[in-house]
Amino acid sequence: MREKILELITILLRIVISIGVIVLFCITILRMHKKIEILEGINSQYCAELSEKEMQNVELTNQFNYVVQNKSTDVQALFKAIEPLKKENRQSYLRWYKAIYKQYNNVLDPYETIYDYSTDEEFNLICRVVQAEIGNGTFDQKCNVASVIVNRYYNKDFPNNWKDILFQKYDGVYQFSSIGNGAYKKVDVDKSTIEAIEYAFTIGDTTNGATYFHSGKSKWHENNLHFIFDDGKHKFYKVK
């Protein structure tokens, strides 16, 4: 009789353990499914701009997921998490920045964009000039050229509208070579150029206040302006 009871208890224990394992397995699957749903939500609903590689940034996606899942309003934690990207990968920073604003548009005031300060025609012109000036340059190099244009827009020493800034002449020579030689008319603007302009306007200047740049050599720039840096494509200057 005792042996049968022990056998019955053993069977019951095995059943309980099996049920426990199944429950844990189901919970794990549900958590994985929930995480996938959140990531898909970020990618499709909040920021289609995020690339697959950026979505694999475990530290950032975990931080984003934590805030979303807990319905936290501590959005500053997310901005703090992406801050290192300003030095490591500006393009990725911009995309995460926009994702956070899309997710939390109910608690964050809308940020200013270049689209708020330019017409479609003006923005298209800016894009073409940046693309033509840079050619096959990097995202950071595009940000630098875009920053010069934005800096001129906010500088009282230059015209106060985009078209006049880009078509301005000095001693009969166009300030932007791509305007003078017509190269801006022949380029195909890519997404990174558009994002570089968005970065320069919304996130900030990447040139420490440059309002001039040139490639190659230029005695005029060297003699009349303060040199800031060389990004490998252009040399950047500001007024002394």
Is the confidence at residue 205, as pLDDT, over 90?
A: yes
The model's pTM: 0.75
Q: Are 123 and 115 in contact (CB under 8 A)?
A: yes
Res 10: pLDDT = 67
Average pLDDT over the chain reads: 82
Q: Greatest CA separation found in the chain? A: 111
Residue type, 8: L
Res 45: pLDDT = 44
The Cα–Cα gap between 88 and 173 comes to 37
The phi, psi pair for 56, rounded to 5°, reads -90, 5
Residue type, 168: Q
**CA end-to-end span of the chain:** 102
Residue type, 108: L
The Cα–Cα gap between 142 and 96 comes to 19
Report the DSSP beta bridge partners of residue 213. 236
Residue 236 in 3-state DSSP? strand
Q: Are 35 and 48 in contact (CB under 8 A)?
A: no
Res 20: pLDDT = 62
Q: For residue range 131-180, what is the model confidence (pLDDT) as tens digits?
A: 999 988 999 999 999 999 999 999 999 999 999 999 999 888 999 999 99
Report domain extents, the chain. Answer: 2-103, 114-239
The Cα–Cα gap between 67 and 54 comes to 18
Q: Domain 114-239 classified CATH 3.40.50.1980?
A: no
Res 106: pLDDT = 81
Q: For residue range 25-66, what is the model confidence (pLDDT) as tens digits?
A: 555 554 444 443 433 444 444 445 556 566 556 566 666 666
Q: In 58-202, which ranges are continuous DSSP H helix?
A: 58-69, 76-82, 85-88, 90-103, 120-134, 139-153, 162-166, 177-180, 191-198
Residue 42 CA to its chain's centroid (Å): 15
